[in-house]
Amino acid sequence: MAWEDELFAFLDDLEERAGALYDADRAPELADRERSEYQQVALSTRLMASVDLDLTLLVAGVGTLAGRLERVADGWCLLAGPAQDWIVRLAAIMAVEGASDRAVPEVAWSPVARLGLGSALRRLADAGERCVVHRLDGGRHDGALRRVGADFVEVLEGEPARVVLVAYDAVAAVQSREV
């Protein structure tokens, strides 16, 4: 082997060692940066990446719900179960099983996904469909949604019919079809 080849081999070896030392030195910094960046990931963005997956949600005031995640929007999601559909407030979700490892940042969401809970409730009210409004405290209101306000929904329930106003902040989920 010529001395030039030995010199280049020696320099290549030094360069590889320097690269390995640099990588080893930066590994903790990169891991810390990754942890710091991950704290910006919201539950809604993980759920958005989980659309069309079968999930199990633990919902305050309701319990365990299982079904296919059909839609995620601003503050709510639509879970299609075998016997009924559920509009679930994201704030009421305590745990999720089966979610994607990915996340879809809000800037990549469609304009339809920016519609709030009121939009979904107005659709149910327009359909005149009976539903069950489940509250965070475990209470429920059986009836039809009548009108939807800025931060509440009117539920027409009982015989004789009476109107109950339910604040959005008290809603855990809305079961669109009774079992």
C-alpha neighbours within 13 Å on the C-beta side of residue 14: 6
Q: What is the pLDDT of residue 176?
A: 83
Those residues with Cβ within 8 angstroms of residue 137's Cβ, 6 or more apart along the chain or in another chain? 61, 170
Q: Distance between CA 155 and CA 9 in Å, rounded?
A: 80
Q: What is the pLDDT of residue 179?
A: 45
**Residue 177 or residue 167, greater confidence:** 167
Phi then psi for 10, rounded to 5 degrees? -65, -45
Q: Is the pLDDT of residue 70 over 80?
A: yes
Question: Average pLDDT for residues 29-51, to the nearest whole number?
Answer: 80
Instruction: Dump pLDDT digits (tens) for 133-150.
Output: 999 999 999 999 999 999
Q: Distance between CA 162 and CA 106 in Å, rounded?
A: 39
Which of helix, strand or coil describes residue 178? coil
Indicate the pLDDT class of residue 40, thresholds 50, 70 and 90: confident
Q: What is the pLDDT of residue 175?
A: 94
**Which letter, b or e, does each residue of 151-169 get, where b requires 16 or more Cβ atoms within 10 Å of its Cβ?**
ebbbbbbeeeeeeeebebe
Q: What is the pLDDT of residue 41?
A: 87
Indicate the pLDDT class of residue 80, thresholds 50, 70 and 90: very high
**Residue 23 or residue 31, greater confidence:** 23
Q: What is the pLDDT of residue 31?
A: 56
Distance in Å from the first CA to the final CA of the chain: 82
In angstroms, the Cα distances linking 120 to 83, 132, 156 are 19, 14, 17
Mean pLDDT, the chain, whole residue set: 88
**Residue 60 or residue 106, greater confidence:** 60
